[in-house]
Amino acid sequence: MSVPTSALVVPDLLRLRAEQLPAREAINVRGLRTITYGDWDARSNAVAHGLLARIGGRGRGVRVALLYSGDDWIDYAIAYFGVLKAGATAMHVNDSLPVAELERRFAQCEVVGVIHGAPITWEGTADRWSLTTADLDSGDHSAPEVDIRPVDIADILYTSGTTGPAKPFTNPHGTPTYGRGSAALGTLDDTAPLLAPMPMGTTSSSTTVAVLATTTPSPLIVCSPDDPEELARLVAEHGCGTVILTPWTAIRLMAIRPHERYDLSSVKSIGNASAPMPPRIARELLRAMPNAVINSAYAQSEAVPAIMLGTVDPDRPMSVGRVGRGTEMVVVDEHGDPVPTGELGEIWLRSEAPKRLYLDPGLNEKVHAGGWTRTRDLGRATEDGELFLFDRKVDAITTSGRLVSSLEVEAAVYEHPAVREATVIGLPDEERGQAVTAVVVLDGTADDAELLGFLARRLEPHQVPARIHRLPALPRGGTGKVLKFELRRTLARNTPYGGE
């Protein structure tokens, strides 16, 4: 049975599946290539033995980078579990990152070696080796005899970088296995596949492989989030019952109107994570997938597995639901004291799982307090525990003494039919302190007067943007989140007190 804090480590999740269902597909890459649980378990054992020989037989404390891209999910999964089975720590990157950023992360994490996909060329250095998955295949498929504990570090992951340069934090084995006993894993008894369009070499890909692929009751299909046409085709061809969509993936999917060419009625559940889903996009998804509900998961990377779970309602877009299993939530004031029901405050989350910690101790002091994780998000809770998100502290806009939620304004901007992408930021303003500023990418035609009039009918006067900027595309990080800090810096420099 499942336990509050799991005694399992991540390789146990694969071992249990391989024992139960060795011939079942573990990962299906776009319907083109697959690997079974038994094969994945055996081949990752062989890589673990090869890695142990390379690093001197002791993995604990050794950090190895995984550099993969595109469709190379199977080699990535084999290498990933090979690193974990050796007792080492995996750091996940992909070849879309600039070389300078890759080198920054390798140095920051003190990486001793890079395991990369065969299509990628990455030269080793005097103090950092570079090998492919195949290079490390020892041919020994026996399970390595390595002592791995739940408190040992499985991964070094990076934040999405929406508020500044991406920051590294540790992920202990006991965090992804929290609450998972052998019976909790279940069997693959749901025949409708789960489709996970995820970017390689990210926190999302690590979770997809380490948790989804080893614990979901559904067959798992993976693909790139950057090809909405293929995403729709895979849903229709495989009769997917669940699709995991970030808001950015959903926006691009709805832009191609896939339901006009594909039957998406097999979808029963849409998993939304990463950020709030714009209400217009949620409504379009529910029309395109008429048998589906949109399930939301709100968490902070540093607080996982503490999580809030809910169902997306386009008429109540800021609701993020109620606490998940093993999660505690409180809304507090600037002193860390709980605020009265319904009042705005900072959201704190906690669970009994081993804590994810930044490599920077100073950041940990700012983020963690008494077992709680300060999310740095603002919200309100109802008497029965439903949480309504207001905004990230850094993104909330103070204009003429009033606090404005950039998320609420963004939701209204997206309602205009000419808007394809939108974000809202505060820019310096001599009179207001900050000016509410909408940054939009348009599909149709709409002048500023029309957009502002449209918004004035949907927002309170102090929420209506004072400025509108038009761009051909919004700057986004690897997970698709808008880099608001970059927009604030660029637009404040170019137009300090005036819009376009």
- The residue among 451, 434, 409 whose CA lies nearest residue 496 is 434
Task: Provide the residue-wise pLDDT of the chain in tens; the chain has 500 residues.
Answer: 343 456 899 999 999 999 999 999 999 999 999 999 999 999 999 999 999 999 999 999 999 999 999 899 999 999 999 999 999 999 999 999 999 999 999 999 999 999 999 889 898 888 999 999 999 999 999 999 999 999 999 999 998 877 778 899 999 999 999 987 654 455 556 689 999 999 999 999 999 999 999 999 899 999 999 999 999 999 999 999 999 999 999 999 999 999 999 999 999 999 997 788 999 999 999 999 999 999 999 988 888 899 999 999 999 999 999 999 899 999 999 999 999 999 999 999 999 989 999 999 999 999 998 899 999 999 999 999 999 999 999 999 999 999 999 999 999 999 999 999 999 999 999 999 999 999 999 987 889 999 999 999 999 999 999 999 999 999 998 788 899 999 999 998 765 433 44
CA–CA separation, 307 and 360 (whole Å): 24
CA–CA separation, 162 and 151 (whole Å): 29
Identify the helix (H) or strand (E) that includes residue 182. helix 182-185
Q: Which pairs from 163-167 meet CB under 8 Å and 24+ separation?
A: 163/392, 163/394, 163/484, 163/485, 164/485, 166/105, 166/477, 167/358, 167/359, 167/360, 167/363
Kindly report the number of other CB atoms within 10 A of residue 181's CB atom: 14
pLDDT at position 1 is 32
Spans of all domains in the chain = 10-182+201-211, 299-392, 397-494
Report the Cα–Cα distance between both ends of the chain, in Å, rounded.
60
Q: Structure pTM?
A: 0.92
CA–CA separation, 135 and 91 (whole Å): 19
Instruction: Please state which CATH class domain 10-182+201-211 belongs to.
Output: alpha beta
pLDDT one-digit tens code per residue, 238-251:
999 999 999 999 99
The four Cα atoms 85, 86, 90, 96 give a dihedral, to 10 degrees, of: -90
pLDDT at position 179 is 82
The DSSP call for residue 203 is H
Look up the CATH architecture of domain 299-392. Roll (2.30)
CA 126 from chain centre, in angstroms, equals 34
Q: Which residue has the tokens 């011939």?
A: 23
Q: Do domains 10-182+201-211 and 397-494 have the same CATH topology?
A: no
The angle, 0 to 180 degrees and rounded to 10, between the axes of the packed helices 448-456 and 406-414 is: 110
55 φ/ψ angles, rounded to the nearest 5 degrees: -100, 10
pLDDT one-digit tens code per residue, 13-22:
999 999 999 9
456 φ/ψ angles, rounded to the nearest 5 degrees: -60, -25
pLDDT at position 3 is 39
Identify the helix (H) or strand (E) that includes residue 29. strand 25-29
CATH topology of domain 397-494: GMP Synthetase; Chain A, domain 3 (3.30.300)
